[in-house]
A and B are shown apart, each in its own frame.
Chain A
């Protein structure tokens, strides 16, 4: 059974209504479904603003879905009692995109890491101190870091503090929203190896959001590609990366900058302007920018098409074969 299951999830925001602009609705997430098995790493990738963080926030119960359901261990979050919700919050931890905004600047690192532990129990002081130092060690920070404030660290060091905090409660699932984009490549490698190690040791489940596709390929077992509030392709990472079937996935992979000065990513892998989540195109939302668009793409929203046991994509082209 899946540990985490997302069913037809939607989140719409009301925005605007300023002096000169009219109000409207941002359909940030517009009917997304996927499942993450225990011990698996599921990666969400896609254009900036396509709704990845919004999904993460709903999973973390920081935002309430407009509709749809999130199931953990088969149980619907919406129907959990307060004890259930408390247990859930303990088992699902997070590392957010922005290491600056996510750490309270007025608290020492010791307090920041202890906070989630204290929210769920009253350990003895010595135990608490030991646990804080343990997780600092796990993320490669010295014990002395516990007595410093977040502003005394560089961006990368701060993100390690955030990871230490997420580990403090021995969670079952960690939601990682751009967890390492602020880290230098060597610490990235350390952290990724570390996340892989603790995953193996504790059978952790990861939901990771990342823009670095080489990292996603290396690190995740399954991947979901999103475009403007919808999932357009999903499947085992190795298969999706080797044989991308949706034109958006293909463009995304073609655009990856390589650590090679003689490789220039094609500037025109994706044509046209980024679509707006406030006024999404009709039919397939990618059609105005798709090199293979057909008349039907303009009018009809493409349904999911299975391409193998667990690989699927939503594109009218696939109906032609």
Chain B
């Protein structure tokens, strides 16, 4: 979608497919987005829509045997990451210039090593601290930044001795250890209580102010997205269906899927007997429909929606949607 000359990250027409026994799953099917320096882009949307696959593509951490970027570019600071040899990606980019807080803290943490060993690894690997004591001090400091209480005493614990939210913060500590240019945070706050969420959001903001860090925040929490993102992109079935600045997206969303998402959330202080839920299922990504992928569940569906994928329209500067019938929605 709309791209900017001096964007920190520019993803162009990314297609990432998973080659599975049951067929080719088009997990990411033509995604374009950009993140400027010091900016936070929210990536929200349906479960299974390809948000994690998009971030794993940027990190070049796709499932080894099945996953492959089949088309598109990922420009970070002017370098196309998709064309880099793996050793260069590992040495100079992954974990240093671009890092990720993965959705599942337990897969990023090895159960047989202590938390201190693991948080120390990026410091040792990228040679940011020399000697055991220096690494240890660096680890204590970064664990303190993500608000782990008594870090010097919990360093020698194993991941299973930490609570869910503590593990998530440990993974965040590993991601910010090397002062990256771009941080991809996949559900970084979903297991955290709200007060720590606020503190993590503050920590991210601080990093942005200090170093111009760009952030992609993947979240299902539209409250968290509203309070931290500058822009928000909504994904559905492997594609971005709407993107815009945060106010536009919350106040004047034009795509029926975005509107349905906003209608589905419970609001503090308004107890409803039932929550609004979108009926039906998302389409198969192995055999996606030719037309709009949301059409079968959409209240505005017409014959055209089934026949042809809608073109992107720019409704206002930076506010782009792919819909045949964009416009304000009724409330649920």
Binding site for B on A (CB under 8 A): 13, 15-22, 24, 26, 45-49, 53, 97-98, 100-101, 140, 142, 151-157, 178, 181-190, 192-193, 196, 211-215, 217-219, 238, 241, 251-253, 255-267, 269-270, 273-279
Query: Nearest 5 CB-CB pairs, A to B?
Result: A18-B156, A156-B47, A48-B165, A257-B223, A276-B149
Are B264 and A278 within 8 A (Cβ)? no
Apart from A53-B163, A101-B106, A154-B49, what 13 extra A-B contacts exist at CB < 8 Å?
A15-B161, A16-B153, A18-B155, A21-B156, A181-B190, A184-B46, A185-B265, A241-B268, A259-B222, A259-B250, A265-B227, A274-B196, A278-B149
Q: Which residues of B contact A276 (CB under 8 A)?
A: 149-150, 153
Complex-state Cα separation, A256 to B187, whole angstroms = 17
Are A264 and B164 within 8 A (Cβ)? no
Q: A193 with B274: in contact, given A22-B153, A261-B226 (CB under 8 Å)?
A: yes
Are A24 and B275 within 8 A (Cβ)? no
Number of interface residues of B (CB under 8 A): 76
User: B195 at interface (Cβ–Cβ under 8 A)?
Assistant: yes
Q: Which residues of A contact B264 (CB under 8 A)?
A: 185-186, 188-189
Q: Which residues of A contact B201 (CB under 8 A)?
A: 257
Q: Which residues of A contact B148 (CB under 8 A)?
A: 274
Are B197 and A255 within 8 A (Cβ)? yes
Are B227 and A263 within 8 A (Cβ)? yes
Complex-state Cα separation, A47 to B251, whole angstroms = 31
How far apart are B47's CB and chain A's nearest CB, in angstroms?
3
Q: Which residues of A contact B247 (CB under 8 A)?
A: 261-262
User: B221 at interface (Cβ–Cβ under 8 A)?
Assistant: yes
Complex-state Cα separation, A233 to B180, whole angstroms = 41
Are B193 and A47 within 8 A (Cβ)? yes
Are A213 and B194 within 8 A (Cβ)? yes
Are A155 and B47 within 8 A (Cβ)? yes
User: B56 at interface (Cβ–Cβ under 8 A)?
Assistant: no
Q: Which residues of A contact B277 (CB under 8 A)?
A: 186-187, 189-190, 193
Chain B residue nearest in CB terms to A14? B161
Are A257 and B191 within 8 A (Cβ)? no
13 pairs, A vs B, C-beta closer than 8 Å: A98-B105, A182-B47, A183-B47, A193-B277, A217-B266, A217-B271, A258-B223, A258-B268, A259-B250, A261-B227, A261-B250, A263-B226, A270-B195
- Among B44, B157, B195, the residue within 8 A (CB) of A255 is B195
Q: A257 with B227: in contact, given A185-B265, A193-B275, A218-B271 (CB under 8 Å)?
A: yes
Are A157 and B48 within 8 A (Cβ)? yes
Are B250 and A260 within 8 A (Cβ)? yes
Complex-state Cα separation, A241 to B266, whole angstroms = 14
Complex-state Cα separation, A19 to B272, whole angstroms = 54
Are A48 and B166 within 8 A (Cβ)? yes
Q: Which residues of B contact A260 (CB under 8 A)?
A: 226, 250
Q: A258 with B227: in contact, given A155-B47, A217-B269 (CB under 8 Å)?
A: yes
How far apart are A50's CB and chain B's nearest CB, in angstroms?
8
- Among B45, B165, B169, B226, the residue within 8 A (CB) of A184 is B45
